Amino acid sequence: MRRAGVLMPVTSLPSPWGIGTLGAAAREFVDFLAASGQALWQILPIGPTGFGDSPYQVFSTYAGNPYLIDLDELVAEGLLERSEYEGVPWGDDPLSVDYGALFRGRYAVLERACARLRASRSAELASFCARESAWLEDYALFMAIKDSQGGAPWVSWPDGLRRREAGALDDARRLLADRVDFWKALQCLFFRQWDRLREYAASAGVLLMGDIPIYVAPDSADVWASPEQFQLDERLLPVEVAGCPPDGFAAGGQLWGNPLYDWELMERDGFSWWVERVTYQLRLYDVLRIDHFRGFDSYYSIPFGAPDAREGRWREGPGMALFERLRETCGTERLVAEDLGYLTDSVARLREETGLPGMRVLEFAFDSVDGSGSVYLPHSYPRDCVAYVGTHDNDTALGWLASACPEDVSRARDYLGLNEREGEGWGMMRGIWSSVAETAIVQMQDILCLGGEARMNVPSTVGQNWRWRAPAHYATPELAQRLRRLMELCDRAPAAGKR
């Protein structure tokens, strides 16, 4: 079935309170998608972010980001008073997230809501905590200890806490009980709102597409609670870390710094850590993109402490054994492989063997640097793929046209027939909508005809990423009508009666 969708981070939705949330603005976006003939809303990972604010480096692969809890919804539920957050400075620019302002102001407001939740709805909270105990106990304790240690990473905590000695953990649970309960209550608030949003999207015929990073953050409850699953030394420091090798875009490669998995141990216990992780994510989403798929075939391993990625080398990944186990346990029919980056024949064979649809990015099609563009030209797309103009790691369509090599831009204009009357950004979107790819997804910034100033992320940089926000009243009926007409022309509009 041909379908289309929009990539729009929850953080990018408009609101008066500093960041997009799971409340009315999210439901309004669902309405816009339904009206414009879109079947999918792709979002970025929704976990609690830390230093750098990246949704791909979070404190837990299971927890929700407290910043996304809608404050107005809490007022409607009697858990907040509007006066408790109206005067808080949430940032000076409504089109950019100020994470510093959120960190300074959000938790004090949410503490009030959590206190009222614990006092008035203790049975509901207890039910949530019991249902999610498999991950929530470790996460809440991790965050409470982190608070008590001034936010320090877990590898610098006192030895008993760092090594999870039973006596030290028991003492922490007793001494930090109130803070542990706060972090549990926050997650209850988050997932109550998430569940309502997912139900609303389902009623509108819109599927939610999530994104699961291949790696977890070094400073996370995931590594602290299960250090045996990772390549750590006797000091619980990584032996080697993740990244990408040098290429034409980065002479020193990319040094991500994530701890690498002990794949041999994981395979011996049936990949239980991965089965639990993917099963949980499939509870949250209708479709799930698996980030950095090539790392399951072979992964780039860099010595811990190296200044860049030049000293790394390729090591064998789990391959088909992992995906066979996932197929047996939680199913793989709703997964999408992010098969971008440095690819080999063996990566292509693994994706084909898994049966997962891969990805095609139009902006790569005209790249004269690495010479691999032909597979990204729309006329060469297979049906079982998800086509993009660009992802969250790429520039917007207009930003790319303004900044790419002039020869590459000229080729794109000739190939796609770009013109001012249609709008060059719209012409690039037409290129993937009219392809045979079963799914085509565009960034909301491209629909709004925004340039490079609206780019979501520049890989391997820290400080100005993940900040873009849409202006108020951006999703107009006229825009929805234009999109729907194009979906009908490209045979991507949902069939009548499906919504």
| Residue of 28, 291, 311, 438 marked active site | 291
CA pair distance 310, 307, nearest whole angstrom: 8
| Residue of 31, 72, 147, 393 marked active site | 393
pTM: 0.96
Taking phi first (over 0 means left), then psi (-120 to 50 degrees means alpha), and beta for anything else, what does residue 271 get?
left
Q: According to the model, what pLDDT value does residue 342 have? A: 80
CA pair distance 372, 359, nearest whole angstrom: 14
| Residue of 138, 219, 222, 338 marked active site | 338
Q: According to the model, what pLDDT value does residue 372 have? A: 61
**Could you tell me which residues are beta bridge partners of residue 211?**
289
pLDDT tens, position by position, 45-84? 999 999 899 999 999 999 999 999 999 999 999 999 999 9
pLDDT tens, position by position, 405-445? 999 999 999 999 999 999 999 999 999 999 999 999 999 99
User: Could you confirm whether 233 is annotated as catalytic?
Assistant: no
pLDDT tens, position by position, 126-179? 999 999 999 999 999 999 999 999 999 999 999 999 999 999 999 999 999 999
CA distances to 155, 247, 324, 421 from 242, in Å: 18, 16, 24, 45
User: Could you confirm whether 408 is annotated as catalytic?
Assistant: no
Closest CA to 431 of 414, 455, 452: 414
User: Could you confirm whether 31 is annotated as catalytic?
Assistant: no
The tokens for 296 are: 């399951």
* Mean per-residue pLDDT of the chain: 96
The DSSP-derived string for 169-184 is: HHHHHHHTHHHHHHHH
Q: According to the model, what pLDDT value does residue 499 have? A: 41
Position of tokens 């953080």? 11
